[in-house]
Amino acid sequence: MNGFINAHTHSEWFGAECLARGDGMIPWLRRVLALEPKDSDLGKGLRLCGEAMKDQIIGDYGRFRSAVAEGLVKGRHYQELIRDDVQTSDSVAPHAVHTFLRLNEIAPDSFISVHAGESEEEMELYRTGSGPMADLLLERGFPASHLERLAGSSPMRILDEHKLLGPRTQIVHAIHLSEDDFELIAERKAHIVLCPVSNRDIGCVSRIQAEIAIKKMIKLGISLALGTDSPLSATTLSIESNAELLRALGVSKIIVDRMLANRAAIGL
């Protein structure tokens, strides 16, 4: 699809095997965390992304390298931040609120992208500070005090407390966020990037859940965009396949077309 906005992908992982098996977020995360990318693999991935998406404008996560940063495709490169990485760009992607420990150091005028509301296990973490996602974070060496601070809150409330939720912010996935979170996103004029193929292939949301959440987003007038997500999480990186899946979920063609043209979602 020429000239369309693909607001979320991960060029570093192009060419990698899709690890989505439909068995949910935690098993998928464990498979991803076992990977150790080599620089040569990253270079190949960037080239593949450039070839596959040369006619699109993308929002690209990259912790080490990026097809956008290297001029292979147009768009915005969000510097992916994990755990205690340091911000070195005005466009940053604290991978998720619960996987980054230095939100207070992100400049509020940055362009920001963050995964949030992607799974039930993630939302359980914010409700209770426990559950499978909390267990995984503890295994990865995150301090228990960090999980305690998350309990009883929500990813959007935490971003807002740090003044990181606004027109320069995109929330990726968002399918399990609460009504209060959606209202806060709408109030702050932030954007949501839906990745329906990835959500389906990982197996982290049912059709009914997706339909209900998307209807809420549309009713609140939230700025919506569409993304293909990572090759690790989706069996196809076709933006058209993602658009078709949204239309199958009852989203009108007019709204889908508007999503595909949403340059503001990647700060352009």
For residue 143, is pLDDT > 90? yes
The pLDDT confidence band at residue 253, using thresholds 50, 70 and 90, is: very high
Measured distance CA(51)–CA(67) in Å, rounded: 10
For residue 45, is pLDDT > 90? no
Measure Cα distances from 68 to 16, 46, 89, 257 in Å.
Answer: 18, 9, 13, 23
The pLDDT confidence band at residue 38, using thresholds 50, 70 and 90, is: low
Q: How many domains, the chain?
A: 1
49 alpha-carbon distance from chain centroid: 17
Mean pLDDT for the chain? 94
| The two structure tokens encoding residue 263 | 């340059």
- pLDDT tens digits, 224-237: 999 999 999 999 99
| The two structure tokens encoding residue 65 | 């390298």
Q: Please state the rounded mean pLDDT for residues 108-113.
A: 96
For residue 268, is pLDDT > 80? yes
pLDDT of residue 58: 97
**Which helix (H) or strand (E) covers residue 191, if one does?**
strand 191-194
Q: Which amino acid, one-letter code, is at 250? A: G
79 alpha-carbon distance from chain centroid: 13
**Would you give the DSSP letter of residue 94?**
E
The pLDDT confidence band at residue 37, using thresholds 50, 70 and 90, is: low
Of 123, 120, 173, 179, nearest to 153 (Cα)?
123
For residue 82, is pLDDT > 70? yes
Q: Please state the rounded mean pLDDT for residues 118-135.
A: 96
Query: Is 56:70 a contact under the CB 8 Å cutoff?
Result: no
The pLDDT confidence band at residue 2, using thresholds 50, 70 and 90, is: low
Please state, as a whole number, how many other Cβ atoms lie within 10 Å of the Cβ of residue 51.
Answer: 12
Measured distance CA(98)–CA(41) in Å, rounded: 28
Of 177, 179, 178, 188, nearest to 223 (Cα)?
188
The pLDDT confidence band at residue 43, using thresholds 50, 70 and 90, is: confident
Q: Burial level of 201, CB count in 10 A (0-12/13-18/19+)?
A: buried
Which residues fall within 8 angstroms of residue 193, CB to CB, at 6 or more apart? 7, 8, 59, 113, 170, 171, 172, 173, 174, 224, 225, 226, 227, 265
- pLDDT tens digits, 165-204: 999 999 999 999 999 999 999 999 999 999 999 999 999 9
Range of the domain at 73: 5-266
For residue 1, is pLDDT > 60? no
- Domain holding 110: CATH number? 3.20.20.140
Query: Is 73:35 a contact under the CB 8 Å cutoff?
Result: no
